A and B are shown apart, each in its own frame.
Chain A
């Protein structure tokens, strides 16, 4: 199995979608076994979730897939592909959240029918009350499963101004909830929230026997819609937790105008509109959890957050990512053989982007270089995703005077990279379950990583058998270069410690993080909900 951006066949190619956002390779539009629903990732962006989806599709040549891609806007949906779609992908379907012209959804002639339908479809998330109750989730599913289009008039987000009933709905909500903040802001909040939902409701659901959403948010919401409309099962896999990520993003967002001065509410309550958006996305997540047949994630740390946002415990399970342990180990061993003595080398393998906090890596390099003679820090990964950030990193290297310590090497073969370093380092400020740690383990290398996502579990093991293997790396706080440097120094001075941590990591990855184990788990699910259901549907 091949997972990871550095090993996939990733030659950019023209966008496959036609002007309608559909690129169907199957003239009869036949139903795929599985339809992946992704938000802003595969096949347009490299790494992370994209490589995970690509790997799963390629690992199941016996199954057919469709990809339903949700793009931020029309331009994003028209980008070149970062991955060549495998032959078992029947079609790529794209939908832009912000479309021009504004999408219009059919509206029934019968007023009461329309009111009921609007409330069922959008009420749970436009009310922004966080978790959605079972009754509302049921109403949502029934509204989706009904015939949405026959005999309706079209409406769009602009109808908030034109439609008398919608206007009344908006103003009564405002009176009830947000009287302290401006009506104008409230109007635009509704408008901006409704527009992408209308886009998603207007988009035709790709034919498939099983839907697999790779996040909650818009992907999960439209997944819930698709599952109800097609009476199909919905699998939901979360790498990172959507609501957590949105909360951070919304907290920093400058496009939300807070009328209240921060000093006016020092008790910790977020200003109204930030809270509104957080609750809006929490509502979307809980609708997806309610609609999902299985709710999966890649590490245990996420399950608590999923429960908090409304997932039922009986639906939850963890399928960790995995790597080709033997393949990596053999490739690394082959390269290692022809290496003369070299100085202590730290390797960073990943995209040069702010979320990886490469600046912090460079700060750590400057500190450690004073204590480790001849230290080499190899930064390996693509830098074209954020050219400005790459430029900042280069300037930082010059400023710190560590040109002889740090080298930027661009994308490399993973085995080649791992064979030429003594320690693998991860400085990210946010991760789900970083594959690079598993790959380092497969190569028998210790890891120095920040305390993010699944890192504590990967370094110290889940309680029980895993933890008994002992630590396989050193964990540091985010944004703490001195702590990272201290760890490097410690490892540089103790080959025994490196060997001990490396051995624990190798044992851990062989026991719990084999790629074939992950593929087998998903194969079982796909056959249960997709492929084996062929005869019945």
Chain B
């Protein structure tokens, strides 16, 4: 094997690795914010390695230049290739769920609902989901005393799925249960409303940073499973308005809340534009990561979902139950494929 051939082979391999990295990071999408940075670094390193390797092996100037041009031009090729493979990649990721039984897919979809409704994610344990099945049967078949006792229990547990069951009990045939369930839901919402009142009072004093507090309080209500969808939506819109006001006043925390509201409203294009415009000048806090996870799920961006889960772990925050369920399903699918 001639030295020139080895040099060419080495350079080509380096370029291919570079291309692959760019393709994967840029094309598949769903990675962490600024995901192109490591890809670019990898690429530049690959290009330099190939050129220097070519030179070291005595490649002619023309050959080395060709390699350099080829290597440096690869981002365009990589990005294009990435864009081309994106739909199929997404189909493949969706297939991770499509390959599962309907029940499992439902569980994952259900889990997403839970994420939307999560009021106190750290209190949501998978073990609770087991009890929920029993609770559901009491809702459907229990007598008055059993249903009444159940309302008391659901009130104490206060997980998203418990709140959802309480909302179902608003349609109970017995007025006593309807009132009890409604009062319990109101009890759950009341501290959040009080927090909103207090945040608004602070904001009224003119403190720019207080806008973020108001937006945060609206978002807490918007994600409270004790509220109906219409009211949750209204609080999301109000959070967005207030956060924008905060950002206009120079509050970067407000930016994070604005982004969170946009993700929760599924306004992904607006969210992307904001992220680009703000260039990371906001903190990735736990609520923002949770909202990002929901957005990633909606867009079937499984890598982003995995990244978010790790980011939550790094922060020491609890993962929402639905996220664990989804990642388990995805992991199982990958395992099955392997």
Contacts and interface: CB of A to CB of B under 8 A. Distances in A.
A451 B200 CA distance: 34
A478 B146 contact: no
B175 A452 contact: yes
A392 B197 contact: yes
Contacts of B248: none
B153 interface: yes
B156 interface: yes
Contacts of B153: 262-263, 265-266, 268, 270
Interface stretch (A86-94, A164-172, A243-251, A516-524): A243-251
B128 interface: yes
A366 B237 CA distance: 14
A262 B170 contact: no
A334 interface: no
Given A248-B176, A429-B182, A479-B185, A268 B238 contact: no
B171 interface: yes
B230 A251 contact: no
Interface stretch (B26-34, B134-142, B318-326): B134-142
Nearest to B197: A395
Nearest to B146: A268
A267 B147 CA distance: 9
B106 interface: no
A430 B179 contact: yes
A248 B186 CA distance: 13
A385 to B, nearest CB: 18
Given A252-B187, A263-B157, A395-B197, A270 B179 contact: no
A351 interface: no
A173 to B, nearest CB: 22
Contact of B228 (A244, A262, A480): A480
A251 B135 contact: no
Contact of A247 (B170, B176, B196, B231): B176
A266 B128 contact: no
Contacts of B185: 479
Contact of B200 (A270, A354, A367, A395): A395
Interface residues of A, number: 36
A268 B170 contact: no
A482 interface: yes
B280 interface: no
Contact of B152 (A271, A366, A392, A451): A271
- The CB with the most chain B CB atoms within 10 A, among A268, A274, A399, A480, is that of A268
Nearest to B229: A482
A453 interface: yes
Given A395-B200, A429-B182, A481-B230, A268 B156 contact: no
A269 interface: yes
A154 interface: no
Contacts of A480: 228
B131 A247 contact: no
Contacts of A343: none
Contact of A263 (B128, B142, B146, B231): B128
A247 B180 contact: yes
Contacts of B183: 248, 252, 429
A231 B148 CA distance: 38
Given A267-B134, A267-B138, A268-B149, A478 B193 contact: no
B145 interface: yes
B264 interface: no
Contact of A429 (B149, B179, B238): B179
A392 B156 CA distance: 25
Contact of A478 (B142, B156, B178, B200): B178
Interface string B63-105: 0000000000000000000000000000000000000000000
B149 A269 contact: yes
Given A477-B170, A478-B178, A251 B138 contact: no
Interface string B216-246: 0000000000001011001000100000000
A376 interface: no
A363 interface: yes
Contacts of A265: 149, 153
A482 B230 contact: yes
Given A263-B128, A481-B231, A251 B182 contact: no
Contacts of A363: 231
Given A268-B149, A270-B148, A252 B184 contact: yes
- The CB with the most chain B CB atoms within 10 A, among A366, A453, A479, A480, is that of A479
A429 B135 CA distance: 24
Nearest to B138: A268
A478 B184 contact: no
Interface in A356-387: 363, 366-367
B155 A251 contact: yes
A258 to B, nearest CB: 8
Contacts of A429: 179, 182-183
Interface string A269-300: 11100110000000000000000000000000
A493 to B, nearest CB: 21
Contacts of A267: 134, 138, 146
Give 8 closest A-B pairs by Cβ, nearest first.
Answer: A268-B146, A270-B149, A262-B153, A268-B138, A251-B152, A266-B134, A248-B180, A262-B156
Given A251-B180, A366-B234, 14 more contacts: A248-B183, A251-B152, A252-B152, A262-B154, A266-B134, A267-B146, A268-B146, A270-B145, A354-B186, A363-B231, A399-B200, A429-B183, A479-B186, A482-B230
17 contacts: A247-B148, A248-B179, A248-B183, A251-B180, A258-B156, A263-B127, A263-B131, A266-B134, A266-B138, A268-B149, A271-B152, A275-B149, A363-B231, A399-B238, A451-B175, A479-B228, A482-B230
Interface of A: 244, 247-248, 251-252, 258, 262-263, 265-271, 274-275, 301, 354, 363, 366-367, 392, 395, 399, 429-430, 451-453, 477-482
Interface of B: 127-128, 131, 134-135, 138, 142, 145-157, 170-171, 175-176, 178-180, 182-187, 193, 196-197, 200, 228, 230-231, 234, 238
